[in-house]
Chains A and B, each alone.
Chain A
């Protein structure tokens, strides 16, 4: 007994449909006889049989589609010879791709990265001088040399005079550093405090509107336009924007707002966003997001720690209504933000509900006074009434 198989009729043939048999069981066939029509992708092809003998049994009925090598009929051949079977297709299992790692956005050449690793230099600290500001081998080697020369402070304690950087400080060290700075602040700076309630109803509606148009990941939080308003307000009140050093106030032209970030492991950092007064609201938002994310990972640049000219302390998220902050020396002012809450609001003899925010200013009496402080607060409040202009 031998098999008559669905033949391989072309390199690209995988299966065929039996269209018609020209034989019936019991029929005698000769080698070379056309015994069936098979339909393929290319059309109907007459199929020959390669053995002589008698058909015993037909296994595939007209209309059936079967793979190449399938037994179509059984026959008793004259020379009942073994035929090699057609090998089936091999299934090769593909390994699953491993999860991609999240890339770190430091523009450094592969060589610079390799050398930095060898020398134990943190690329975050280095300013690149290569194409598009990328960090090159020379930058890494230069930084390594400087590292050797200057003992590196690792504690935020020095944040006051020369604040530093990475998240290497332990929470204890950080606590001690904050304590030192605050003691110095309360000892040296005659603080005064002002506060005002601001109706931010328009701001909230405007935000809702804006956020509808942009992807979730780029969504703007109220802090961004508020920072912008503070920055613009500071532009008109230069007495609050600067450093008190060597017995004199040094106003700063750039308005860099520091944002106090509490770290998960305890401790505080206050990195800054530079030139907030000229940045757009979405830009402030994305920089803030980046800053918070990196701040919590301990990946801040030293310049971000040293640059703030005014610090903001925002504790609204923690359920606080009013913040009376302690100024970070050598700065001369701190703006405190409470939570935004819906509260009764009287307007033209009518009481309604409105979203409100309590803003405070802690300021250095050596440099400014309550009159100037009120002007600043009022200006910020005014700016927040016109959010689309920010």
Chain B
């Protein structure tokens, strides 16, 4: 239950390229988001995942297409990795109707039923009961799909975390709980909010198989998640993974970071998951240093096209204001979810 001492190495060139590309895409996409925010084209709250990419990249790669994902308000990377297009996400943040939530949700509420991606939940711990219920439905339908639920360590202070873990364990539901422990619940460091900071001890107390990994090491996360998903599919029982990670940027854009020492941020930046993974993969002969440039170029195009797509998007007419409060006919027919 401690962080993996020796980072693992990618098993093959293809996997390594994918992992690096995914991390780069998340990083560059979000840097663009920050820029667009400073220009006032993205509004509301904007929470960036920069620094934590290895967690979502590693965990998502362990999931299959039929699995479901529930995430938090720090959800851009998760949506991207689930296959929602960068353009649909950027358009959403621009408030355009071409956005993945029709422009109604914004940065914190990205959704895509097509990708079994269920947001985008801005109430801390609010999505845990939903994930439990989604998994219950899977079980009642005798399916083997996994429901992955991402949340920060701040959620652990909420009653819904404990109630949900209890239900998942009590009813033996196929939920993968992934705790993105970035040490700070907004501005409150873990040991100032929790009497027990060993998070696996908490989840274990519900008799849930629990493990803690280095969230800055994409391979460590991938391996732990792969093992967990396999366990869930075999037993139907939930698994809890704590990923120890760090966000490099402020909680949201409007945060002077009074609560943490800039030296601490610098120290964590030395462990940036992207260069760390690149150097290991190069040393292992899986990647070439030149791969980075090629991937950067590829990612830059994706990001640029996303912005262009968002810019060209259209605003929903004000006459449609009251839509999406109750279901419309076409939605009635599309209700289905897990079949």
Chain A positions within 8 Å of B, measured between CB atoms, are 5, 7-13, 32, 40, 42-45, 48, 50, 68-69, 83-84, 86-87
Contacts and interface: CB of A to CB of B under 8 A. Distances in A.
A86 B38 CA distance: 9
A86 B40 contact: yes
A232 to B, nearest CB: 69
B316 interface: no
A87 B40 contact: yes
B212 to A, nearest CB: 32
Given A44-B256, A45-B256, A8 B35 contact: no
Interface of B: 31, 34-35, 37-41, 43-45, 250, 252-256, 258
A42 B40 contact: no
Contact of A11 (B35, B39, B44): B44
Contacts of A12: 254
Contact of B39 (A42, A43, A45, A86): A86
Given A8-B39, A9-B38, 5 more contacts: A8-B37, A11-B43, A68-B40, A69-B40, A84-B41
Contacts of B255: 42, 45
B39 A10 contact: no
Given A32-B31, A50-B35, A8 B40 contact: yes
Contacts of B43: 8, 11
A81 to B, nearest CB: 11
A84 B38 contact: no
A45 B251 CA distance: 12
B258 A11 contact: no
Contacts of B254: 9-13, 40, 42, 45
Contacts of B252: 10
A68 B43 CA distance: 13
9 contacts: A8-B39, A11-B45, A12-B254, A13-B254, A45-B255, A48-B38, A50-B35, A86-B39, A86-B40
A186 to B, nearest CB: 79
Contacts of A13: 254
Contacts of A68: 40
A87 B43 CA distance: 13
B228 to A, nearest CB: 35
A83 B39 contact: yes
Contacts of A87: 40
B240 to A, nearest CB: 34
A43 B38 contact: no
A24 B337 CA distance: 58
Q: Is the interface of A mostly helix, strand, loop or mixed?
A: loop
Contacts of A50: 35, 38
A209 B165 CA distance: 80
A86 B40 CA distance: 6
B46 to A, nearest CB: 9
Of the listed residues A9, A45, A83, the one surrounded by the most CB atoms of chain B closer than 10 A to its CB is: A9
Contacts of A45: 250, 254-256
A285 B34 CA distance: 73
A86 B39 CA distance: 6
A46 to B, nearest CB: 8
A294 B35 CA distance: 71
Nearest to B41: A84
A42 B254 CA distance: 7
A43 B258 contact: yes
B188 to A, nearest CB: 16
Contacts of A84: 39, 41
A40 B255 CA distance: 10
Given A50-B35, A84-B39, A86-B40, A10 B253 contact: yes
Nearest to A69: B40
A38 B196 CA distance: 38
Nearest to A86: B40
Of the listed residues A7, A10, A43, A68, the one surrounded by the most CB atoms of chain B closer than 10 A to its CB is: A10
Nearest to A47: B38
B37 to A, nearest CB: 7
A11 B108 CA distance: 14
Contacts of B34: 48
A8 B38 CA distance: 4
Contacts of A5: 38-39
A13 B250 CA distance: 16
Contacts of B38: 5, 7-9, 48, 50
Nearest to B250: A45
Contacts of B256: 40, 42-45
A7 B38 CA distance: 5
Contacts of B37: 8
Q: Which 5 A-B pairs have the closest CB atoms?
A: A10-B254, A43-B256, A7-B38, A8-B40, A86-B40
A44 B34 CA distance: 17
B249 to A, nearest CB: 10
Contacts of A86: 39-40
A11 B43 CA distance: 6
Contacts of B44: 11
B26 to A, nearest CB: 16
Nearest to A39: B256
B257 to A, nearest CB: 8
Of the listed residues A7, A12, A40, the one surrounded by the most CB atoms of chain B closer than 10 A to its CB is: A7
Contacts of B39: 5, 7-8, 83-84, 86
Contacts of A42: 254-256
Of the listed residues B40, B253, B255, the one surrounded by the most CB atoms of chain A closer than 10 A to its CB is: B40
A84 B40 CA distance: 9
Nearest to A8: B40
Nearest to A44: B256
Nearest to B38: A7
B239 to A, nearest CB: 37
A113 to B, nearest CB: 35
Contacts of B250: 45
A4 to B, nearest CB: 10
A2 to B, nearest CB: 12
A40 B253 CA distance: 12
Contacts of A10: 252-254
Contacts of A43: 256, 258
A216 B227 CA distance: 88
Of the listed residues B39, B250, B258, the one surrounded by the most CB atoms of chain A closer than 10 A to its CB is: B39
Of the listed residues A5, A8, A50, the one surrounded by the most CB atoms of chain B closer than 10 A to its CB is: A8
A176 to B, nearest CB: 67
A43 B250 CA distance: 13
Nearest to B35: A50
A45 B255 CA distance: 7
Of the listed residues B37, B45, B256, the one surrounded by the most CB atoms of chain A closer than 10 A to its CB is: B256
